[in-house]
Structure 1
Amino acid sequence: MTLKRRLYRGRDVRRAQNITELRAMAAARLPNFCLEYLEGGADDELTLHRNRASYDAIAFTPRTLVDVSVRDPGCTLFGQRIEMPAVIAPTGFNGLLAHEGDLALAHAARDAGIPMCQSMVSTVALERVAETGVRHWMQIYPFKDRENLAGIVRRAEAAGSEAIVVTTDVPMLGNREWDRRNYRAPMKLDVANLINVALRPKWWWDVLVPHGMPHFRNLGDILPPGQDDARNAATFLSRQMDPSLNWQDVQWLRELWPRKLILKGIVRPDDALRARALGVDALVITNHGGRQLDSCVAPIEVLPEIRAAVGPDMTLIVDSGLRRGGDFVKARALGADAAMSGRATLYGLAAGGRAGVAHALAILRAEIDRTLGLLGCPALTDLGPDWVSGAGATRGV
């Protein structure tokens, strides 16, 4: 008898072999509306699928007869060593996946020796996350209320945050239809989803009981009084997105913030050059994980063009679509200093809290290390474009 292939869906995160298996475990634990929020993309989800397909289209060109008995998957980022070329990406509403999920992400990132970028719409105060000792970056949305935005920037400075990461690709929210289908009215679940929630007691005992609906702990001065929980704040926050955001706002933030300033949402070489001219320290090349503009280019496709435009000295981080350690190696070979992981680590969080995030990062690090060995490349820092072939490797060259 031939056994059918199937993914492990139990509770022991240590049994997960890869990120896909952690996703299956997360799907078994989360209510449908949480999983849909985590996974969904904009419109027809063409960008979402392109992100993965672009990595799949890149092939390695390994060398042979190379001594790879000692390997180093680490590198430096802003002059400090990280143990693998990864940063935990900023993601909001993480308290809906696990209680105080942002703290779990921070502890796991610290232990793995990589930075964490905390979302402005996270559900744990930035001061508490920074206190974990992780290399803390703070992401901000340039909301219309600039005075209160400046207050968050000053809080990050006081907390010792290494960088401010400005999200530039959300002048308005993308059209995430599959996410919206779960609700009969804004933030009011339909009957089918309410029943689905009732069938996930482990989730609601962790997330809702006795803590109640998670709150936005970094937005108290922006939200109306008593409206800082995830249910009540969503509509208000969508109205705070500022379609007038422009390069003058970047200049304002550069003058306000004394440390590393990172722009997140760049996919064009001309925008990258303008950012460099304004004194921006680094760019995150991203299409927001396929959640904003559909039919957008994949970041890994345009990475070589942007690297060629800005030169070797500007820090570039690529985001969107990474699921395997080999994807991080491909990104590094094509010119990225590091890559951000959003969904991959959130699957670990949803599957098993802090232990799940730690296991997700351990999986990625082991895959990076193994990929380097099989490539015949002992050190991550030795990688270059000649180690890969395919669409992503040749675009713009």
Structure 2
Amino acid sequence: MQTRDEGLLFQTDQQLAAAKQRAFKLAAATDVGSPIAVNGKVLDLLIAGDDAFVAESGWQARCMDLRTGKTRRLYKGHRGPVTSLAMLTITEPDSPSWRALFTGSWDKSIRVWDADTAELLFVLEGHSDFVKSLTVIPHCCLLVSTSTDRSIRLWDLTALKSKLAPITTQVVRAHHRPVDCVVWRADGLTITLWSADSMGVIKQWSLRDGSLHYAEDLKGHETSVAQLAVDEEGLWSVSMDKTAVFHPFDGSPKTVVEHDSYVKSVMMLNDGRGRTFLLTGSDDEDIRVWDVSTRSDGRVPLEAVVPGHCGEISALRPWTGSTGVVVVSSSLDGTLRRWTLQDLLVPQRLAISSHKETTTLTVDEERELAELLSDDDS
């Protein structure tokens, strides 16, 4: 029997079965995590106040109200998927403050917008390949960008106070593979930065006088590091090698947290009562909650596995809403989902129905089947 649906041509039985199972999961997850629908795949997420800024595969960024789920502004102009976001609040005496939004893209450019009006201010060029990540260090009024061209660039944002274009102040080419992510930490006047690449190499830097100075390499991964997160005790890195690794600042042994699939996103969450949780998002579409507070002998207990998304989880971000801290997750399934700590610790189970193939055929299907059987007999 031949299919009349061109979308099903050249798909194996296994692929068709997986597509059906995905449809059942989407139906079961309709209300899980208070979802907000986004038009495209979400590649990055930034939260400022009650605004969620979303980097989309569809060549644009979007500002959404986390309380209502409605789109407030669109930032259009890139010529490729938008991969990364960063923001800086510009304040000047005797002038109203405003927010500069930075978007990075596969089109190799960084665009600077007035976040509150969606006015495009500048297009920053310099990278020779995809922009992979953007990070603002407000203490120094610096933007750090990383790229598939294996470089880290520092941009001086001071000129934005006069509505002038930022300029590149340093280009670092220490990595030998695409630089996927950066994170930083301020300890008094000391600022430390870590960069990670697609071969699993993590480099530590000190930021002095507006420039990066190499300190050391941190080992722990066999392949691409997707994201980094830092707290007072150390650095967490998550990787395509299916691990999350904790690198303590005090020099004690590393902690390795094994996963069943690629780990793509990470976030630290404190419950305000002395418990600290590690949240990880994977390409298996689940969020995992680990109790870091009870870590012992290099082991971190798994508290919960949270289903709900129907695609790879690209980012996990905190949002201080009216009911306290809420975790917002973004995914390639085109949704944002909002979770309280209780939602994460006691996750809702998905009622995914087991599908049984029907034996009822339409009139056209019965005719086609009869024709096939007649051909076989002949």
TM over 0.5: no
If asked which structure has higher relative contact order (CA below 8 Å, sep 6+), I would say: 1
Larger Rg: 2
* Between structures 1 and 2, the one with greater strand share: 2
Q: TM-score, normalised to structure 2's length? A: 0.29
Q: Taking structure 1 as the reference length, what is the TM-score of the superposition?
A: 0.28
